[in-house]
Structure 1
Amino acid sequence: MRRPAPPRPAPGRTVPLLSVLAATALLLTACGTEHGGAGGTGAGAAGAAARTQIDDPGKDGVRVTSLTLPSPSPSPTRSYSVSADSLPGDSGIVAAYEVTNKGSETLTYTIVITFTSADGGAMGNQTVTVRAVGPGRTVRGTVRAGVLPPGTPRVTGAKVLEVTKVPSGEAPAAPGTCPASGIRVSADRGDAAMGLRVVGLHLDNCGTRDYSVDGYPVLELLDDDLQHVDGIKILDGGGGITFGDADDEPAGPVTLKPGESALATLTWRNTTDFGTAVNVPHVRVRAKAGAPPVIVTPNLDLGTTGKLGVTAWRPAKD
């Protein structure tokens, strides 16, 4: 038995808008409604990113708060789909962090954040510098994991691995900037072989006038709390450390024109015999007596040697 067709509206008449909306709502109710993932990330959509809160206890007032992960591709290499704002080859993984200064002076923080897999293994480290955090202030930021090698296990977490903080007035200048003094002091990452450690101190004339030094940089060794470390003999030159004097050029005047640089070298051994090993994380450096101080962090693992060698400033070779 055929059912009669519903009456059509008479020519020239319109269907009321409320009737159309009601019919649409009824159709959606019958068919069901699909919702995105938590936080509106749409976890089921291809290439969508998912943000996860991180329970990181942190260190020295610094902690990771969340991790944003792109959805994994179905390929066996465990690669990641990359968002439009990622750099070429970038994994698209981003950790959010916060820095709270619980001290009484303005500090500059250097932070190492490690990205980890489900079994806790480190998949990669990134270093970020947060400058001029005032007392009682909290500063938030993000850091990208960057490029991960093909076949890297899926990153599932992130945590603070290391924190270094120094008074902002004595922190090394930011790259591309020049302090009011017109000179920039910094330390490189150094080299280590067979227990011998070498770190270069760099002096750049970034100002507009000539700058002269004569002899050795002025050093003060500092502990984790930036207090003076006693009992370490600072030697002029590295001969007493390296069994030779090839690096011990005679001390003499060096004049740097704007744009020129000089180099000095810290040398030590981490030999440990009888006694208590000494670690010196920070060194306060003055290019010469009376020059503005800069605190660098070469992490001197001096063992029980009690000695640190420093060469005189010499013009840097191109």
Structure 2
Amino acid sequence: MRKVTSLLPPFAAVLLLTACGSEQAGTPGAAAPASGTATTAPSVDGVRITSVTIPSGTPAPSSDEFSVHADPLPSRDSGISAAYEVTNTGTGALTYTILFDFTTDAGAVMGNSHETVRSVDPGATVRGTVRLGVPAPGASRVTRVKVSRVTKVPAAEAPPASGECPASGLRLTADDGDAAMGLRVVGLHLENCGKRDYPLDGYPLLELLDKDLAPVQGVRIVNGSGDISSGTGFDEPARPLVLKPGESASSGLMWRNTTESGAAVNVPYVRVRAQQGADPVTLTPHLDLGTTGKLAVRAWTRPSK
């Protein structure tokens, strides 16, 4: 699964995920053939950039402690690609989501790409390549490729790939959320992609997990708004639903990131069950709970039309 987000206008950069190894663009106006140059960039949570590819005739790249650097490239087709590898040093199969940043020499991010590498077995290494295509006219030159963030969840609890229906017949996902003046809301979405009706009543069940997937203590999970904010729909009572095949329900998480006395709490992972007895799905909403110690949950409802 690939999610690409550009920090420039939509035409500013095209990021493509290729198969293992390096491929050259086969479109008119593409850069001249390129070659890969090995790097010594350090691993970030098991993910390491192993080489960069730049157009032939330009100086070889160098690396610093955090990213892989290439000297300025022509503005027509950057020719930059980064080969990477994912190594699972844990004891169970993991699914990785990696944020790659494509930046200028000064560190300004010109584009980024979320890449998901599924079901990496313990001790296994999986390789891939990320490519930067044609930048917009006048865009700043991209000279660095960086592993910006890595999240990893048990493979059996990873959200399904786009278009995939889990064995449970339920597809549970989270959206990108919304933030305004310290108030945060992340939507949860449940789709019955199976062949049987699914009765649903109440609130999703949550377990908050830290970066090591261990339980987070000291945060109170409340059904409804918990007085965090009014007029959000979180105080609507739970009602029994029956999701027929193809139908969906929505819930949500709400919190404030207020920070006062004490240590701020950040929760990268949330293990979610649609209800008691349902299969768990581990999501990565990155909850910045501040020092509030409270997370509100909305009851399952049918999506607004």
Aligned counterparts of 1:275 and 1:281: Cα–Cα separation in 2: 19
Unaligned runs of 5+ in 1: 1-40, 82-90
What amino acid is aligned across from residue 107 of structure 1 in structure 2? L
- What's the CA shift for 1:125? 1.0
Aligned counterparts of 2:193 and 2:232: Cα–Cα separation in 1: 31
Distance 1:72 1:269, change over 3 A: farther
Give 2:75's aligned residue. 79
CA contact (8 A) 1:67 1:157 kept: no
Unaligned runs of 5+ in 2: 1-23, 25-29, 59-72
Give 1:168's aligned residue. 155
* Aligned match for 1:63, one of 39, 44, 48: 48
- What's the CA shift for 1:95? 1.6
What amino acid is aligned across from residue 47 of structure 2 in structure 1? V
CA contact (8 A) 2:234 2:297 kept: no
Give 2:92's aligned residue. 105
TM superposition outliers: structure 1 runs of 4+ over 6 Å: none
CA RMSD of aligned residues (A): 2.2
* Aligned: 1:47 with 2:32: yes
Aligned counterparts of 2:121 and 2:232: Cα–Cα separation in 1: 45
Aligned counterparts of 2:161 and 2:134: Cα–Cα separation in 1: 24
* Aligned match for 2:141, one of 140, 144, 154: 154
What amino acid is aligned across from residue 310 of structure 1 in structure 2? V
What amino acid is aligned across from residue 39 of structure 2 in structure 1? I
Distance 1:152 1:72, change over 3 A: farther
- Greater shift, 105-114 or 238-247, is seen at 238-247
* Aligned match for 1:309, one of 296, 299, 305: 296
Give 2:245's aligned residue. 258
What amino acid is aligned across from residue 51 of structure 2 in structure 1? S
Aligned counterparts of 2:267 and 2:134: Cα–Cα separation in 1: 33
Which protein shows a greater Rg?
Answer: 1
- What's the CA shift for 1:235? 1.1
- Greater shift, 116-125 or 161-170, is seen at 116-125
Give 2:266's aligned residue. 279
Distance 1:237 1:140, change over 3 A: same
Give 2:166's aligned residue. 179
Q: Percent identity?
A: 62
Aligned counterparts of 2:230 and 2:304: Cα–Cα separation in 1: 24
**Structure (1/2) with the larger helix percentage:** 1
- What's the CA shift for 1:150? 2.5
Give 1:235's aligned residue. 222
CA contact (8 A) 1:126 1:145 kept: no
- What's the CA shift for 1:92? 4.8
* Aligned match for 1:121, one of 83, 108, 111: 108
Aligned counterparts of 2:38 and 2:221: Cα–Cα separation in 1: 48
- Secondary structure of the equivalent of 2:228? helix
Aligned counterparts of 2:184 and 2:282: Cα–Cα separation in 1: 19
CA contact (8 A) 1:109 1:164 kept: yes
- Secondary structure of the equivalent of 1:155? coil
Aligned counterparts of 1:46 and 1:225: Cα–Cα separation in 2: 42
* Aligned match for 2:256, one of 265, 269, 272: 269
- What's the CA shift for 1:250? 1.4
Give 2:207's aligned residue. 220
Aligned counterparts of 1:72 and 1:173: Cα–Cα separation in 2: 43
Give 1:21's aligned residue. none
* Aligned: 1:195 with 2:182: yes
